[in-house]
Structure 1
Amino acid sequence: MSDARADERPLLLLVESGGRPYRGHLLASIAERHRVHLFCERPPTWQLDHIAGWTRIDDTRNGPAMAERAMRLAAAGPLRGVLSWSEPHIVPAAQVAQVFGLPGGPPGAVAACCDKALTRAALHAAGVPQPRSAAVATLADAARAAGRIGYPVVLKPRALSGSLGVVRADGPDGLAAAFAAARGAAAAGPASFDSPVQVEEFAAGEEISVDAVVHRGRTQPLFLARKSVGYAPWFAEVGHRVDAADPLLGDQQVMQVLHAAHAAIGLRDGTTHTEMRLTPRGPKVIEINARLGGDLITLLGRYATGLDAGLIAADAACGRAPVLAPDRKAVAGVRFLHPPADRLTVGSLGFDAAALPPSVVRTELLVEPGATVSTPAADMANGRLAVAVAVAGTAGECEAALDAAEAALRLETA
């Protein structure tokens, strides 16, 4: 790429890139059309192929401090946008954008998405359907809240993502263990609250997510994913499937709830990931995130529809109106493959390439030989061995390809 072309691309500040297996495709996309400058706590490695520059920041969760460093960056040329898709960094990124008068947030709305108690309060005030909930500090508080709400209940940290520390308690006998798990995960998280645990009504029904773009307060869905969970009473995300022709994209109730949730939170610009449960009484919002979805959902969306969520997010950060022009209709799915038992030491790990059907378009190993691994029930954060992605014409064909990929994974323990 010539220097002239590089200079013509708008300057975009990215606050942390996330890990390559799940977020690398987003960085690669935005780098095609933007000069990406990365703010990061650790020196970049794989990111160097996609960025124009980088600055080491002692604490990328400190928005005001980053704004000062961004002033120096902007002195060399206009800064067009600030972006982050990393959960702990979206509020600081919105604070930097606000200092420069750029789209993103506003920070208060982004913060309301990161704090589940604030999310619940905003949705309740606007009458948006959601599970009943309470923020609690102690086991006794949790018991009283569960008694009011009614079992089964779900306990979760107020400010974590990826289903970390989220667990179901079917009755009083299981409440103490569930509370300890949720509180322990919350204590290891980035935020501190007097009441760090949410106790919520269990919303029965299929779980879905909708990634969307917001421009000047107008919300437009990009694609919808159906989630598979396992390892009850935990809520480990074991797979997602995106169908470009999913009928739920035309479901009036789902879309009404989606738009009402965004209006209640007050999001004006950016990209979002909203999770819902399709209960017998209609869709209920589980959470709304002021960032793109994780777990390769954005890659599935590109395979299924042609919409590049990374570029759409970058355009939103720079204040451009989104141009949504899907160019295909396919079904794309991802499957996360886990160890068969806890505390296994990996001797060798790999896919049998001959056993993979052509519709499996991507496989990746997530652990190295010598690593000790456990199921998500024992280690939610690191309980994955590998990932497989398939693209097909129907949901059935996609699931069959993912089944074949799972069967093709070869694990030998040390």
Structure 2
Amino acid sequence: MTLTRPDDKPLLLIITSGLRRYREYLLASIAGRYRVHLIDATAPTWELPYLSGHSVVPDTGAGPVLAAAREVAARQPVAGVMSWHEEHIVQAALVAGELGLPGTPPDAVRRCRDKYATRTALAEADLPQPEFALAGSLEEALAAADKLGWPVVIKPRAAGGSQGVVLVHDADELADQFAATRDVHVPHNPDFAELVLVEEYLDAPEVSVDAVVREGRVTPLFVGRKEVGFPPYFEETGHRVSADDPLLHDPQALRLLTGIHRALGVTDGWTHTELRLTAEGPKLIEVNGRVGGDLIPYLGLRATGTDPGLAAADVACGAEPDTAPRRDAHAAIRFFYPPADDTRIAALDFDRTELPAAIDLLEPLVGPGDVVSPPRKGLIDGRIALATAVADTAAECAAAIDHAARALRLTVEGS
């Protein structure tokens, strides 16, 4: 264990760092205001310039993480704890509870992780969401679908990132997909006898709302307009964020967000809430008790100037976060995929000549020799590249993303 050096800045514990290309921008911002002590199962590499200390634990389950946090807290004051990784938000809540740090109670965080518990809490509060049922077997799932009405969505009870989420139209499709959804592996997941949630399908646009919550007050910061592909799966192929998104000021949406967080017991932290915008109004899909993925908060930073890393760290340490926008722009991301299962990459890059000024990032995610597949086989980890754009108008932003798509140069072995 490397001990954190004394310093004037408050000490923040972060549990696991995640993938560099998706999380470094957060860590870099946080390290400017806080001393960061990382708790993870592997020794830090790229994270080292941003850390003042780290603990390597045998695994990132609750026991080892709590032991490491106690050891740090025994030597110096800890101001807060956070994790932006779905599988570790409960551990962070347990640390906060034991050390008396700001944060949402562990039971409420578990309600966010357990989609059935989320649905049950919202049903008790009479908040808008799909009709649902829990299934422990294919027979139970079929009975639930017959009752709800086809098509239905099936999803794992506690997974994230759209893993195992499938739209099924009839009994044959449900029978074909059920086992794969039931068997999605979720580290540090509680043991549930009934693992599959069957839900009414809401055929409406989906958005995500990243918000900070302080003492029960919900402040939405970024709305991500989702682009979804590879049906019947729900692979998120892109997102668009606008600083002036009308949903940020919509009274019905704001009341719903406040009601959702109150029903779940979320009091302090950052949340990523997914909604479907139906003709009857917004309805909840799920709440994640962490910073959003897919670089959505990065798009928010580029579109509004509001720093998600600092806001999340501030609220984790009991400070009032700075949520004021400083920019009025549009930002977008698009992910790219291989043409077929088990594609072996020979070469991949972008043609970087004559790029529009709005192009922000062009990043290959795989290299020569890598073998990748599109969804379902390669859900999320089937992405081969990403591009982001930032512009003054939505049209400029969209045009730049389309240019990036045309600029992708992929060569596969055997072609």
Coarse TM-score class (shorter-chain normalised) = over 0.9
Cα-to-partner distance string for 1:20-43 (whole Å, 9 max, x where unaligned): 011111111101111100000011
Q: Does the Cα contact within 8 Å between 2:344 and 2:371 map onto a contact in 1?
A: yes
Q: How many Å separate the matches in 2 of 1:356 and 1:191?
A: 48
**How far off is 1:59 after superposition?**
2.0
1:276 matched to 2:275: yes
Q: Does the Cα contact within 8 Å between 1:157 and 1:186 map onto a contact in 2?
A: no
Aligned to 2:298: 299
1:39 matched to 2:39: yes
Matched to 1:387, the amino acid is: L
**How far off is 1:189 after superposition?**
7.8
Cα-to-partner distance string for 1:107-165 (whole Å, 9 max, x where unaligned): 11001000000000011111110001111111000000001111110001011111011
Aligned to 1:52: 52
Q: How many Å separate the matches in 2 of 1:41 and 1:189?
A: 13
Q: Does the Cα contact within 8 Å between 1:376 and 1:384 map onto a contact in 2?
A: no
Aligned to 2:104: 105
**How far off is 1:75 after superposition?**
2.7
**How far off is 1:72 after superposition?**
1.9
Matched to 2:157, the amino acid is: R
Cα-to-partner distance string for 1:149-190 (whole Å, 9 max, x where unaligned): 111100010111110111000122211112122112257884
Q: How many Å separate the matches in 1 of 2:67 and 2:338?
A: 45
Matches within 5 A, 1:252-291: 252-291=251-290
Q: How many Å separate the matches in 2 of 1:390 and 1:189?
A: 36
Q: How many Å separate the matches in 1 of 2:190 and 2:373?
A: 26
Aligned to 1:227: 226
Matched to 1:393, the amino acid is: D
**How far off is 1:66 after superposition?**
2.3
Matches within 5 A, 1:171-250: 171-186=170-185, 190-250=189-249
Q: Does the Cα contact within 8 Å between 2:235 and 2:380 map onto a contact in 1?
A: no
Aligned to 2:16: 16
Q: How many Å separate the matches in 1 of 2:7 and 2:217?
A: 31
Cα-to-partner distance string for 1:374-394 (whole Å, 9 max, x where unaligned): 112321041100111100112
Which ranges of structure 1 fall in alignment gaps of 5 or more residues?
none
Aligned to 1:338: 337
Q: TM-score, normalised by structure 2?
A: 0.96
Residue identity (%): 51
Aligned to 2:130: 131
Aligned to 1:95: 94
Q: How many Å separate the matches in 1 of 2:223 and 2:187?
A: 31
Q: How many Å separate the matches in 2 of 1:398 and 1:82?
A: 36
**How far off is 1:323 after superposition?**
2.4
**How far off is 1:6 after superposition?**
7.2
Matched residue SS, 2:244? coil
Q: Does the Cα contact within 8 Å between 1:355 and 1:408 map onto a contact in 2?
A: no
The list of structure 1 runs, each at least 4 consecutive aligned residues, that deviate by more than 2 angstroms after superposition, is 64-69, 186-192
Matched residue SS, 2:191? coil
Matched to 1:70, the amino acid is: A
Aligned to 1:350: 349
Aligned to 1:152: 151
Q: Does the Cα contact within 8 Å between 1:152 and 1:169 map onto a contact in 2?
A: yes
Matched to 2:37, the amino acid is: H
Q: Does the Cα contact within 8 Å between 2:221 and 2:248 map onto a contact in 1?
A: no
Aligned to 2:325: 326
Q: TM-score, normalised by structure 1?
A: 0.96
Matched residue SS, 1:23? helix
Q: How many Å separate the matches in 1 of 2:187 and 2:201?
A: 24
Q: Does the Cα contact within 8 Å between 1:208 and 1:227 map onto a contact in 2?
A: yes
Matches within 5 A, 1:43-82: 43-62=43-62, 64-82=63-81
Matched to 1:54, the amino acid is: H
Cα-to-partner distance string for 1:319-338 (whole Å, 9 max, x where unaligned): 01222211110000010111
Q: Does the Cα contact within 8 Å between 1:154 and 1:167 map onto a contact in 2?
A: yes
Q: How many Å separate the matches in 1 of 2:100 and 2:176?
A: 46
Aligned residues: 409
1:84 matched to 2:83: yes
Q: Does the Cα contact within 8 Å between 1:355 and 1:405 map onto a contact in 2?
A: no
**How far off is 1:218 after superposition?**
0.8
Q: Does the Cα contact within 8 Å between 1:186 and 1:197 map onto a contact in 2?
A: no
